[in-house]
Amino acid sequence: MPQEPRQHPGQPGWGGQQQQSRRPEAAYEETGAMSAQPYDSPPPHGPRPSHPGQPGPQQSQPVEPGAPGRRRAPGSRRRAPEQETRTYSNEETIASDAPRRSRRAGGGPGGPGGPPAGPPKGGGDKPRWRRFLPSWKLVLATFVVLSGGMLGMIMVAYSLTPVPREDQIQEGVTDQESVIVDRNGVELARLGTKRIPVKYDQVPRPVQDAVIAAENDSFREDSGISFSGMVRSLWSTVSGQQVQGASTITQQMARGYYDGLSQERSIQRKIKEIFVAVKLNKVLPKETILEQYLNTIYFGRGAYGIGAASKAFFGKPVEKLTPEQGAYLAGRIQNPGRFDREEEAGNNGVTEFRYNYVIGQMAKLDPQAYGNLAPKSPKRIKYKPDDPFKGLKGYMVQTVLDELERLDIPKADVYKGGYHVKSSLDLKLMRAARAAVKQHIGNLDPEINATLAAVDPRNGQILAFYAGEDYAKDQWNDAFLSQKQAASAFKPYVLAAWLDAGYSLRSYVPAKGPVKLDGTTPIDNDHSMKTSAVDVVSATASSVNTAYAKMGEKVGLDKVIDIAAQAGLNKDRLEAARKEHHYLLTIGSSTVTAVEQAGGYSIFANQGRHYENHVVIEVKDKDGKTVISEKKTYNQVISPEAAADAVVALEAVVKSGTGRSAALPGRPVAGKTGTNNDNKEAWFVGFTPQVSTAVGLFRQQCRTASGKVVKPKYDNCPWAKGKSTKYTMDNPYSRPYEIPLGPGFQGATYPAAIWKSFMLEATKGQKVVPFPERADAGITENLVPKPTPTPTPTRDTTELDIGDPFDEDDFDVDDCVIGPCGDDDGNVSIDPNQDDVPVDDGLLGGGRNDVPAPSQVRRGER
């Protein structure tokens, strides 16, 4: 044992009481991190001076390794000496029972000239890697701080996330397809997003359970999110059995319904989605959440929402879905696009697998109710992608869209607005129009084309038209777009102007020509007349050009144009015809469309009134509110008396004049024929009190620049030639040209026959309504002297009673006044052999081809 050191008077740290010696290990254990510090540290600025009565510091002696007093690194397992000796002077050696951090004197270990301040770094038995591990206390403190900060940020973010408002929905999420129906409610087309919104109570409980089982089995109880679902989704993804997603129904609804949640895959979006879902779950009932979800999600076959999906896959309303059908639809939510492709390719395995998964999940929800569902998925209806612009319906749909555009509902709005549009068109009559055209010209040269339009004169509703066979192949609508010379079918507007100006039917007009009018080439008739004058009724029945030219001169072309324009004809075209042809306007040099003519004649059928031609009767929005109603106002173009008298003259055309082939058994009919120069166009326009119909024929062919005639493609002249890049739509390979119809084509033949066949269907079941009685209004204005009848041996030679121009005793048939003298419809003259063509069913039925030609086209350039 070392000797106890003696105490020296005045020595600091030494008193009268002797301190017990301690092992250095005890000091290390109690001082912790302090023991890692050197025992002695040099003063900042060298040795401190001695105090009075205290000896100055002495240079320490080196301490041998392993000798008492040697300092060890903390944590060393080797036992250290029980005492540590330090030298204060040459005479004194003291023992310390505890290590010090430093000494005020500079001669200790680590000081100038002293021993090293402990072992070098890395010494001892402690593994090197452990020195880099932080203390568990530090780790715990860091974790607490970070967790608290993150929780705080989450709470702040959650509090700043607003609850979506009712009007804060994504664009397009409530888009609905618009439905267009005909006048009888027959559906013509559905345009836009297929979505039929349904209420929660409309969806059967088994269908609801099927969706919940497939997508979020804890939906009715969870808080809008599902941690178990997230874990299950992760495991399903890892194991390759991805049958259920991590997002709950509430999350999916929030993402797909409300604005502000994008579809991008990011943590930020996912966190926001979770916040919104939790908040929505607090403010919305589960029923509302499920209803919005079922009306939003895509099921395939273009169907959005359970209502549209029920129709698309099973052809029934959602209320009638079976549990199996509900399970099939619920299974499609996961990947509808892929399921569509697989089923279209004939692979039903993927949908069968999904169906079985759903019914299995349903059995877990309610074994008693769903434990015995059919193991095979239910049969679906055949999927036929609908083309709303195909066939006759295509013409109807496009016509309705064109009118909606004019009514400030553009096509883009129709495709998303969920409108219900009721049109005036009748699909049955559209088919009747096509059948009538095919019946009478179907076997003729395909260059010969027909156009037809029917209007209800009582309200201006367009009932039907013929424009072509298939809109998908030929978008040109002849009934609305093809402008052809009206020829003598224009004369009724001159008649209306005459009567409305106050002149009567009893007036006499010239029957012989030619007549010379200012600025106009001489106007003559196509056949000779044995009398120099006829009354207005006879002039109308026999379509006398000279009579109508002088009538137009008397009332003035301004009056004629005004009447025709008010009746619906295009005023600009009327003015252009006057400027170019002057008084030839009175016998039909202006161009018209079939729709204009059918609507124009309504002024005669409906007491002088004209309603604007239209095809839209009513438009309701998706909430059932009426946004467009049919216009009920009309324009009184001529007086009712003038209209009644005009009908008398136009009835004579059908009773005994050029339009006899158009008579309908047991029903009053009035109308007018028309054929222009060289038989390029032929018309018959006629009406009953309920229907006014115009039928026109024309012929066109496709020619190349060299004059070669080529066949049309889908009734259009081909602008391209094979793979040649020489031709463009601006520089086409062929162009359309109008050519004469040929002999045998006048208004009284094929057009009248088509008109009759159509009208038999159009008036079927309608009450027989008579025309108004003759008013016999106006004054007699004789433009030529009254004719003197030629006496015969069997007749009284007294003056004729011109009040009834159709009394057989008044006229000789040979006078060509009311007999079949011809259809004088040309601007100057027409084919004089018109009436040599017999009117019989064989010819009018298309059994003869008088004009051979190599091709057909729908439009022409004159």
Residue 450, number of CB atoms within 10 A of its CB? 27
Structure-token match 């004369």, residue found:
491
Q: How high is the pLDDT of residue 249?
A: 85
Which residue in 197, 26, 32, 177 sits closest to 96, CA to CA?
26
Query: How many angstroms separate the CA atoms of 446 and 389, rounded?
Result: 23
pLDDT at 54 over 50: no
Q: What is the pLDDT of residues 127-149, one digit of tens each?
A: 676 666 777 777 787 778 777 76
Q: Whole-number mean pLDDT of the chain? A: 79
Q: How high is the pLDDT of residue 816?
A: 32
Per DSSP, what are the bridge partners of residue 6? none
Burial letters for 804-839: b for 16+ Cβ neighbours within 10 Å, e otherwise?
ebbeeebbbeebbbbbbbbbbbbbbbbbeebbebeb
Give how far Cα 175 sits from Cα of 305, 412, 417, Å: 11, 11, 6
Q: How high is the pLDDT of residue 295?
A: 94
Query: How many angstroms separate the CA atoms of 10 and 53, rounded?
Result: 6
E strand or H helix that includes residue 359: helix 349-365
Does 46 or 287 have the greater pLDDT score?
287
Query: How many angstroms separate the CA atoms of 488 and 539, rounded?
Result: 12
pLDDT at 835 over 70: no
Is residue 502 within 8 Å of residue 492, measured between CB atoms?
Answer: no
Q: What is the pLDDT of residues 337-383, one digit of tens each?
A: 999 999 999 999 999 999 999 999 999 999 999 999 999 999 999 99
Tokens matching residue 74: 């903390």
Q: What is the pLDDT of residues 603-639, one digit of tens each?
A: 999 999 999 999 999 999 999 999 999 999 999 999 9
Q: How high is the pLDDT of residue 783?
A: 93
pLDDT at 673 over 90: yes
> How far is C-alpha 24 from the chain's CA centre?
91
What sections of 567-683 are H helices per DSSP? Answer: 571-581, 594-600, 602-605, 640-655
pLDDT at 42 over 70: no
Does 87 or 457 have the greater pLDDT score?
457
Q: What is the pLDDT of residues 524-575, one digit of tens each?
A: 987 777 788 999 999 999 999 999 999 999 999 999 999 999 999 999 999 9
Name the pTM for this structure: 0.72
Burial (CB count within 10 angstroms: exposed 0-12, middle 13-18, buried 19+), residue 352: middle
Q: What is the pLDDT of residues 239-284, one digit of tens each?
A: 555 444 568 888 887 777 776 655 555 566 567 677 677 767 777 8
Predicted confidence band of residue 821 (pLDDT cuts 50, 70, 90)? very low
E strand or H helix that includes residue 626: strand 626-629
Tokens matching residue 805: 């121009």
Residue 487, number of CB atoms within 10 A of its CB? 33
Amino acid identity, position 194: K
Query: How many angstroms separate the CA atoms of 444 and 848, rounded?
Result: 7
Strand pairing class (616-620; 508-510) = unpaired
Query: How many angstroms separate the CA atoms of 182 and 88, rounded?
Result: 120
Q: How high is the pLDDT of residue 735?
A: 92
Sign of the CA dihedral running 306, 308, 310, 313:
negative
> How far is C-alpha 591 from the chain's CA centre?
36
Query: How many angstroms separate the CA atoms of 533 and 508, rounded?
Result: 6
Which residue in 541, 539, 602 sits closest to 569, CA to CA?
602
Sign of the CA dihedral running 816, 817, 820, 824:
positive
Tokens matching residue 750: 């094929």
Give how far Cα 27 sits from Cα of 24, 41, 68, 648, 782, Å: 5, 18, 15, 136, 147
Residue 711, number of CB atoms within 10 A of its CB? 14
**Which DSSP symbol is given to 487?**
G
Determine the Cα angle at 401 with ends 400 and 405, to 5°.
120
Does 102 or 678 have the greater pLDDT score?
678
Tokens matching residue 831: 């084919």
Q: What is the pLDDT of residues 710-754, one digit of tens each?
A: 988 877 888 898 888 899 989 999 999 999 998 889 999 999 999
Does 88 or 777 have the greater pLDDT score?
777
Is residue 662 within 8 Å of residue 669, measured between CB atoms?
Answer: yes
Structure-token match 């109807």, residue found:
396
Is residue 273 within 8 Å of residue 261, measured between CB atoms?
Answer: yes
Q: How high is the pLDDT of residue 167?
A: 59
Q: How high is the pLDDT of residue 159?
A: 55
Report the SS3 class of residue 619. strand
Which residue in 681, 611, 690, 648 sits closest to 496, CA to CA?
648
Give how far Cα 54 sits from Cα of 15, 49, 57, 89, 93, Å: 14, 10, 9, 12, 16
Of 10-24, 157-171, 509-523, 833-847, where does the model show the most confidence?
509-523
Tokens matching residue 612: 């604007």
Query: How many angstroms separate the CA atoms of 723 and 725, rounded?
Result: 6
Please list, in sequence order, all residues whose beta carbon lies within 8 angstroms of the beta carbon of residue 66, skipping any fewer than 6 positions away.
none
Q: How high is the pLDDT of residue 130?
A: 67
Amino acid identity, position 318: V
Helices (H) and strands (E) in the chain, counts: 26, 23
Strand pairing class (626-629; 616-620) = antiparallel
Determine the average pLDDT of the residues in 801-805: 34
What sections of 447-588 are H helices per DSSP? Answer: 478-481, 491-500, 536-541, 545-555, 557-566, 571-581
Query: How many angstroms separate the CA atoms of 443 and 849, rounded?
Result: 8
Query: How many angstroms separate the CA atoms of 155 and 468, rounded?
Result: 68
Query: How many angstroms separate the CA atoms of 12 and 18, rounded?
Result: 13
Residue 514, number of CB atoms within 10 A of its CB? 16
Report the SS3 class of residue 715. coil
Tokens matching residue 128: 């090197």
Which residue in 595, 602, 402 sits closest to 484, CA to CA?
595
Concatenate the DSSP letters of all residues of 725-742 into one string: SS--SSS-SEEEEEE---
Q: What is the pLDDT of residues 201-236, one digit of tens each?
A: 999 999 999 999 999 888 888 776 665 655 555 555
Q: What is the pLDDT of residues 295-327, one digit of tens each?
A: 999 999 999 999 999 999 999 999 999 999 999
pLDDT at 12 over 50: no
* Residue 364, φ and ψ in degrees, nearest 5: -70, -35
Query: How many angstroms separate the CA atoms of 502 and 645, rounded?
Result: 11
> How far is C-alpha 144 from the chain's CA centre?
56
Structure-token match 């079922």, residue found:
294
